[in-house]
Amino acid sequence: MHIKSKEAIRQIEKSGLILGRILSNLAKMCQAGITTWEIDREAEKMILKAGGRPAFKGYRNSPSDSPFPTTICASVNHELVHACARKDVRLKTGDIFSIDIGMEYPYKKNCRGFFTDTAITVPIGPVSEEVKKLLRVTRGALEEGIKASRPGNSVADIGRAIENYVKSQGKYGIVRDLVGHGVGYEVHEEPRIPNYYDRKLSGWKLEPGMVIAIEPMISLGSWAIKTGPDGWAIEMADKSLCAHFEHTIIIGKKTSLVATYRPNESKET
């Protein structure tokens, strides 16, 4: 766990504000006929223009891994996360499209910046009431997780709040093999932030200066996932539709702040 310095918090808050605006602008591009590659190219342009660097492009879990090839994770329908943007994937009416985006900011040669991470799932034109509810529930789960992200609460409290809310809304798959995480000095840091109650995390208390990424991942079917044919995309094993929303949260002394809030969202929890 990394407690961020005051300067790091200041830069993370600034970075999150920029990234939230970028994601809001990308969401407006998401219409039938556009390719995920076109959205990805625009995302990279906006990040670079803002003085940042795409956090995911070139990312490796380990030195032996191939680097991730695109700026955004561009996941469509039953793809949950980590799908690469592609020239041959064109959005069509009725799709749901998840954009997961991260940024290192400020980016200067030989100088390490700070990381923020956020995601949204967008309907492409009209979708069914069932899908609309899936999006509402996943977004609502994120809001419940944010409410639980207060100093003195535990990481387990976040997962419990998300799980209880989702279960109260109907029968949904709460993905268990992928979780939220700490963020800031690196793209991924401890602690892991599950979207379900994990008693073992009850002792991991939230402290001022912690920065975490909360990201509910919910499906209309089973919670089970698998790796897609391209070796990158993580998709629902039963091919059910799924949604993903994410924000970077800064834990304060009395409350918490949503660093990556978009212009139409509330900044404080």
Binding-site residue set for a divalent metal cation: 100, 117, 181, 215, 246
The binding site comprises 82, 100, 117, 181, 188, 215, 246
Where b means 16+ CB within 10 Å and e means fewer, 235-267 reads: bbeeebbbbbbbbbbbbbeeebbbbbbbeeeee
Task: Give the integer Cα–Cα distance in Å for 118 and 184.
Answer: 12
Task: Give the integer Cα–Cα distance in Å for 166 and 163.
Answer: 5
Burial label for 197, CB within 10 Å (0-12, 13-18, 19+), is: middle
Of 166, 163, 169, residue with least CA distance to 195: 163
Residue 171: both structure tokens together: 């029968």
Residue written as token pair 């979207």? 195
The binding site for substrate comprises 82, 188
